[in-house]
Amino acid sequence: MRHVIWSTLEDTRIRVPLSDNRMPTLHTRYKVPHMDAKGESDSFFGDLPTTYLRTSFYWDNLIHFGMGPRRNSDGTLVFLLPMADRKLPGIAASDIGACALGIFKRPAEFVGRTIGVAGEHLTGYQMAQALASSFGEPVRHITMQHSQYAQLGFAGSNDLANMFHYQHDFNLEFCSVRSVERTRALHPELMSFQQWLATNAPRIPRHN
């Protein structure tokens, strides 16, 4: 093989060891299982000409994973993102393949490197305002303690709670490796959140 791209994420245990009680340990060996399992697998690619591609929150999760706004009993829409005022790197899932193609076109530059991609870095408030503009009605951002989020009861809520906790506590580091400018250099047609919403807002459920 001349060039491999491995879609990976940070092993959060490098910054938050299992002995760190800021977040619970899950499955006896992880802090954020879906991140840590990928991060620890990076070592399997050491003998291959690999680019380690770190992706961001898929905006498509608002459609397919039930993370979009919900309607309160009073009829208003609220958008839950437990990041307080921190920014969340996000990207359209359809842009990730185009970014990978951009990496494949420049092997001499990217083999052996770790590259993060994002379409935009936005706070929950900024995402709520963009959603409101697309929906034509107000959307209010709400946050909560990560321990509360873990108790919401949907599949994977504890994993996601720890993920958001990690991205909150190490926000500068997490965002800095996901440069929007570098991503756009790989894929000039990279979408912003508002551009993604222009096509996809009607597909986002607005649950009660």
Tell me the pTM: 0.94
- Residue 131 Ramachandran class (φ > 0 left, ψ -120 to 50 alpha, else beta): alpha
If we measure between CA atoms, which residue out of 79, 159, 113 comes closest to residue 6?
113
Sketch out the chain's domains with CATH numbers: 4-199 (3.40.50.720)
Residue bearing tokens 């951009």: 102
Q: Spell out, as residue ranges, where the chain has pLDDT lower than 70.
A: 208
State how far the Cα of 134 lies from the Cα of 136, in Å rounded to an integer.
Answer: 6
**What is the separation of C-alpha 206 from the centre of its chain, rounded to a whole number of angstroms?**
21
Q: What's the pLDDT at 58?
A: 96
Amino acid at 101: L
Check if the beta carbon of residue 55 is closer than 8 Å to that of residue 48.
Answer: no
State how far the Cα of 157 lies from the Cα of 142, in Å rounded to an integer.
Answer: 17
Residue 69: CA count within 13 A, CB half-sphere:
27
Check if the beta carbon of residue 123 is closer than 8 Å to that of residue 193.
Answer: no
Amino acid at 75: G
Mean pLDDT of the chain, nearest integer: 96
Tokens (6 digits) for 52: 């380690």
**Residues in contact with 152: Cβ distance below 8 Å, sequence separation at least 6, in sequence order:** none
- Residue 53 CB burial class (10 angstroms; 0-12, 13-18, ≥19): buried
Give residue-wise pLDDT tens across range 13-71.
999 999 999 999 999 999 999 999 999 999 999 999 999 999 999 999 999 888 999 99
**What is the separation of C-alpha 189 from the centre of its chain, rounded to a whole number of angstroms?**
20
